[in-house]
Structure 1
Amino acid sequence: MPRKRPSSRGSTRGHAAARRAISPRRIIALVSTCLLICSLLTAYGVYWNIYNKINQQSIDLDPFGDRPTRVDGVLNIMLIGSDVRSGDNADYGDAEGERPDTLAIAHISPEKGRATIVNIPRDSVVDMPACEPTDDKPGQDAHTAMIGEAMNNGGVQCLWGTVEQLTNVHIDHFVSVDFVGFKEMVDALGGVTMCIPEPIQDEKAGHLNLEAGEQTLDGEEALGYVRSRKGQGDGSDLSRIDRQQDFMGAMLQEVVNGDVLSSPGTLNSFLGSVADSLSTDDGLTVSTMGDIAVAMREVDLGDIEFVTVPNGPHPADPNRVAWSEPKSTQLWQSVASDEISDGKDDEGGGKGKGDKTPKVEPSTVSVEVLNGTDTPGLADEVSTGLAGMGFLPAGTGNPLGEAPEKSTVYHPPGKEAEAKAVASKLNSATTEENPALTDTLQLVVAYDWNGFKSSGGGGGADVEGKSAADAKTAC
């Protein structure tokens, strides 16, 4: 090992998972949002009557041509919070048509024991494909507009095709719930406890009026909280998404830690409350739901991650959103190839399965890079790359003595988390303790060096995320 020295500067597989006894607690742990909670719990045969109330749609994606490649053993489910105002939803305004009030892709990776929910801002202005008319939708020509217009013009089928073409991610299923279903589901839980940091008043969100502090939100208050824009933060859809992610995490905690699963009556009420308000594709059958539940039975709340598509103000309208490049493409590539959790494994610096390692801020980590190869300038190149990720450069040079066979991040005692944070950014690296080091880490680049990862855990390059376990329910 190098000595301390002064720097020398220069779906389950085919939806056919083995069926075994299902732990209800683990089934719930899979669910990223209330939508997915409902769809998975209906896998119980005793709830066939509830399942049969769900509206199922036939989706034809042939008009969109070749679809993205599906990764074996992985599921991507499009989650929609519908803003339809017909029927019982008429109390929430008179807007015409139907658009996604909330839109996300739940990426479920059973083999990695993780689920990642990527939120797509409703204010995203994107290039949309042409969509054929349906029985109740006019269809659309190819044009540029806010992403929700695809659903309004061509229904879920058009939105599905649009999302696939924009992201190059293969979508396997969709789940949609409306306002009333969301509200009644929260009430069936007995409310969801949240820490409200500041008083909230928003007349446009159901006359929402919440005091600061720890509160248990009922269905009406919860709906107002997740829909509110003008009464909280900067009034943007992005800050609203951040609150929605917090609420979904808190809701998951409520389900896992409460009596929903132990009380048949509560569980029946929970499922029945949303069945009439839930829509799925006709491929999302009870059998498929059961397969998903079995495959993901070991997922914990800390392994359910929420991220948002990297974005910024649209050049033509600062009130709208444009996806940032290359970060958004990197994020979608990591989802499409099931590499989105690479930075969260045992060699990473995040909170992988069973890993209690705290999150490390790169700005607190100093790294000296030593070139153990005969490639000139490699140490400087790697040091510059780490600096671009926020780590503190602490010089470059060459190792004294023999270099390791594998690129290695050496760390002083007590700095293992920091070393894993650095290693998580590299395509090939291991970590090792060096008692001779005091504070600065030492990365020795070996002949196995093959660059930086294009995306870290929880999203594309430099995309921050939060887990369901991070939701703050107590003040």
Structure 2
Amino acid sequence: MGGWIAVLTTAAVIGTSLTAYAAYYDIYGNIEQQNIDTDSFGDRPNRVEGAMNIMVIGSDVRTGENADYGEAEGQRPDTLIVAHISPNNGRATLVNLPRDLIVDLPACEGQGDTAGMAAQRGMINSPLSLGGVQCQWKAVESVTGIRIDHFVSVDFTGFKGIVDSIGGVRMCIPDPIDDEDAKLHLDAGEQTLDGEESLGYMRSRYGQGDGSDVSRIKRQQEFLGAMLNQVMQGEILNRPSNITGFLSSVTETMTTDDELTLDVMSDIAIAMREVDLGNINFVTTPNGQAPENENRLALTQPQASQLFEAIAKDQSLTGDDDGGDGGGGDGDGDEEQQEQVAPGDVSVEVLNGEGTPGLAEQVGQWLTTEGFQVANTGNPVQIPAQTTIYYGSGKKAHAQALADEAVNATVVENTSLGDTVQLVLAQDWDGFTSTAGSGGGSSPGGVDGTTAEESKQQCS
């Protein structure tokens, strides 16, 4: 559940006040802390001076006050995020690791009353229940190659309290939601969600969109952006009593490692103070259908490794381009003004000539989440030399709307086509463009993301 990152980001953004009021030292004492034996991990990824990586866990533990949300054995991350804070680049990047990811997990020793686990291939969120936070920490480092410095965890009840402490979150709900599993029933329109409704919105999966964890993550990222915008532009920062109430709600339900001290929290807050909302980036790890299980996900390579490497080396995700035309031109020199076409008006067939199994389905899923109408996926009869979008008579603007979302795609007319345009992926396919900061650059190919600034919620 991506909403848990508010525990870190929102608190960090306003947390410069931690050192301003002596009462905050008492608030800090509310936090439950665990010792993590990182020395037992063996070789670990290198640390980059001046940057920090925090593993954020939204725990779905169903005991105590969380028992109302059904039964589940042990605890697993309902959401798992790596929060990369980069003062050197003046930005923060929040990388969602979908819980349905199947990855190679390392062996690890158990913590507390957990047994630990042998090396295996399994879901990215399973080490928490098998070996505790220590196993989850080691697994994330092993899978991503990113050195984790700290962890933060909050459960369902804690998240509700955080939302209620800021007076709810204003959201635009495009369609009515009726999801009994998530205990969520909302009318369409702009409205303020309280803690219970916000938790349901973040948990809701099959009651919205295509029911996938990836589309749910996208909605969660939008919620977080709305929450951060509200905190930064609302009354919380203006009054010490408001800040105290918010931080009390956060710390009463937070678990961290014992090296995440008050001084470290203050350092994070000072760093975050310099980060503009337009430079708080939410990205999802590139993924596609797992070969061994159609209901699970696998990392899409090389895009996932490129993203992880950029985070591990504290490199900017934005490219050197000026944020201009994200897609390819049509090569015919036609400079006349083109009509603007909304994604919902574009019907597209995705054909995979790149060779990676399942890539057409993955691309189709991403296009669906962006509002395009995916008519079909499959393989092409002929593979062009470069990724190409073919269009029929009168559909040039439709093809260009799709090309604007692609890192590299040439637009070519094919008079034999009807209303549906064809996206044929070739060997040079490099994913979709994604604004990853106020500079308007591109994320690594295949990385889907947004910024807190872009997530301002207002119904049209």
Could you tell me the TM-score, scaled by structure 2's length?
A: 0.73
Residue in 2 aligned with 1:177? 154
| TM alignment of 1:57-76, pairs within 5 A | 57-76=34-53
SS of equivalent to 1:296: helix
Distance 2:89 2:291 in 1: 38
> In the superposition, relative to structure 1, how do residues 341 and 327 fare at CA in structure 2: closer, same or farther (>3 Å)?
closer
Residue in 1 aligned with 2:107? 130
Partner letter of residue 389 of structure 1?
Answer: V
Distance 2:441 2:326 in 1: 14
Distance 1:126 1:333 in 2: 17
> In the superposition, relative to structure 1, how do residues 296 and 168 fare at CA in structure 2: closer, same or farther (>3 Å)?
same
Q: Is 2:236 aligned against 1:229?
A: no
Identify the match of residue 157 of structure 1 among 128, 134, 153.
Answer: 134
SS of equivalent to 1:290: helix
Distance 1:466 1:367 in 2: 32
Q: Is 2:97 aligned against 1:79?
A: no
| TM alignment of 1:227-376, pairs within 5 A | 227-343=203-319, 347-350=320-323, 360-363=325-328
Could you tell me the TM-score, scaled by structure 1's length?
A: 0.71
Q: 1:131: Cα distance to partner?
A: 1.3
> In the superposition, relative to structure 1, how do residues 285 and 230 fare at CA in structure 2: closer, same or farther (>3 Å)?
same
Residue in 1 aligned with 2:453? 469
Q: What do residues 333-361 of structure 1 show as CA deviations (whole Å, max 9, x unaligned)?
A: 11111123342xxx4335xxxxxxxx743
Partner letter of residue 63 of structure 1?
Answer: S
Distance 2:38 2:270 in 1: 28
Q: Is 2:9 aligned against 1:36?
A: yes
Stretch of structure 1 that moved more, 151-160 or 57-66: 57-66
Q: Percent identity?
A: 52
Partner letter of residue 335 of structure 1?
Answer: I
Distance 2:271 2:294 in 1: 43
Q: Is 2:68 aligned against 1:91?
A: yes
RMSD of aligned alpha carbons: 2.6
Larger Rg: 1 or 2? 1
SS of equivalent to 2:109: coil
Q: 1:460: Cα distance to partner?
A: 2.8
Q: What do residues 139-174 of structure 1 show as CA deviations (whole Å, max 9, x unaligned)?
A: 111111111110111111101100101111111111
Identify the match of residue 83 of structure 2 among 93, 106, 130.
Answer: 106
Stretch of structure 1 that moved more, 264-273 or 104-113: 264-273
Q: Is 2:127 aligned against 1:143?
A: no
Q: Count residues in correspondence.
A: 361
| TM alignment of 1:407-418, pairs within 5 A | none
> In the superposition, relative to structure 1, how do residues 270 and 102 fare at CA in structure 2: closer, same or farther (>3 Å)?
same
Residue in 2 aligned with 1:408? none
Q: Is 2:362 aligned against 1:389?
A: no
| Structure 1 residue ranges without an equivalent (≥5) | 1-30, 351-358, 369-382, 395-420, 425-455
8 Å CA contact 1:340–1:460 kept in 2: the answer is: no
User: Larger relative CO (CA 8 A, sep 6+): 1 or 2?
Assistant: 1
Q: 1:203: Cα distance to partner?
A: 0.4
SS of equivalent to 1:305: strand
> In the superposition, relative to structure 1, how do residues 311 and 262 fare at CA in structure 2: closer, same or farther (>3 Å)?
same
8 Å CA contact 1:367–1:392 kept in 2: the answer is: no
| TM alignment of 1:432-443, pairs within 5 A | none
Partner letter of residue 241 of structure 2?
Answer: G
8 Å CA contact 1:117–1:305 kept in 2: the answer is: yes
Q: What do residues 430-469 of structure 1 show as CA deviations (whole Å, max 9, x unaligned)?
A: xxxxxxxxxxxxxxxxxxxxxxxxxx95643232321001
> In the superposition, relative to structure 1, how do residues 132 and 32 fare at CA in structure 2: closer, same or farther (>3 Å)?
closer
Q: 1:222: Cα distance to partner?
A: 0.3
Partner letter of residue 38 of structure 1?
Answer: A
Partner letter of residue 162 of structure 1?
Answer: A
8 Å CA contact 1:40–1:289 kept in 2: the answer is: no
